[in-house]
Amino acid sequence: MKLSIIVPVYNVLPYIRCCLDSLVNQTAEDYEILLVDDGSTDGTAAVLEEYRDRFPELVRLRRVDNGGQGRARNFAIQEARGDFLGFIDSDDSIAPDMYEKLLTKAEESGADVAVCDWLARYDDGREETLPACLQEHPLASAGSACNKIFRRELVGDVRFPAGLWYEDFYFSALMLLRANRVEYVREPLYIYRRHQDSTMRNNNSAKNLDMLKIMELLSKQMLPEHREDFEFFLINHVLLDTISRVSRQDTPDRGEVLAQLRAYVREKIPSLDSCSCYKNESVKRRLIMRLNYMGLDRLAMGILDMKGRLSK
């Protein structure tokens, strides 16, 4: 079998049919869909059973006690039969030819990982095309597992950290780090539903400290051999993304969380000017990173907001 599509599912009744319709109608051949119901309580389970019964040649359904997305994915990895693995969030959907194009690219090139761009779809109906990478760096697309396929042999015994936010980042980072070849399909084939409940648009400051736990897990895999790559992840995913995200929140513990995030970066990188990957970033990204490093994250956000208004 060429491909196993793994879908952890928990209480997504308004979105699950759209997701499943996009999966059962893929133009790719020789694939399976592994649905893991992570203890849904809102009627989602009945929809999953319906699709299993309608498409028995495609859909396999398993149920587990609620334990989070990472654990559900790990359960499915054990049962996957495909030469490649793909992961879909159950409130998203994909273009009909996404997996055909990713598989073709991987098979023709011998790549271990194939990646596509994103189409962000907002609750108000707006859409925005987002590139898989914002920088010219081999590890720049590590943020998510969902717009990729991974060769099963590459995955090996790597699993998603259970119970943590940003588990996607950990898994994808290791896959990209280990891959001999990564190929890109420069088309927005993964349709990402952007709503307030997502990890990236959350208002839970303390839970963002999970990023530091993820970085510690990565450090055990990467240091000291891959220090420069580790610092690339650190400045982009902690100093830029996570600090910028938390700085926009309105929670009582926001300041303490920001202080912990900033202290972690400073411990690992005592001087930004000595960090080679920082020097390779764009002027705009370096400015925001430095302000965040100095504790001037509110000023950094003001600059970003002003640039956003001027570009409209």
pLDDT score, position 303: 87
pLDDT at residue 198 tops 70: no
For the ranges 89-103, 195-209, 270-284, which has the lowest average pLDDT?
195-209
pLDDT score, position 308: 59
Distance CA 189, CA 192 (A): 9
Per-residue pLDDT tens over the stretch 295-307: 999 999 888 777 5
Give the pLDDT band of residue 310 (cuts 50, 70, 90).
very low
Contact of 44 with 37, CB cutoff 8 Å: yes
Q: What's the whole-model pTM score?
A: 0.93
Distance in angstroms between the alpha carbons of the first and the last residue of the chain: 47
DSSP 3-state assignment of 100?
Answer: helix
Give the pLDDT band of residue 195 (cuts 50, 70, 90).
low
Running DSSP on this structure, what letter comes out for residue 242?
I
pLDDT score, position 312: 42
Contact of 70 with 166, CB cutoff 8 Å: no
Pairing verdict, β 113-122 and 148-151:
antiparallel
Assign domain 3-198 to its CATH superfamily: Spore Coat Polysaccharide Biosynthesis Protein SpsA; Chain A (3.90.550.10)
**Cβ partners under 8 Å of residue 161, min gap 6:** 70, 167, 170, 213, 214, 217
Give the pLDDT band of residue 311 (cuts 50, 70, 90).
very low
Per-residue pLDDT tens over the stretch 99-135: 999 999 999 999 999 999 999 999 888 999 999 998 8
Per-residue pLDDT tens over the stretch 69-99: 999 999 999 999 999 999 999 999 999 999 9
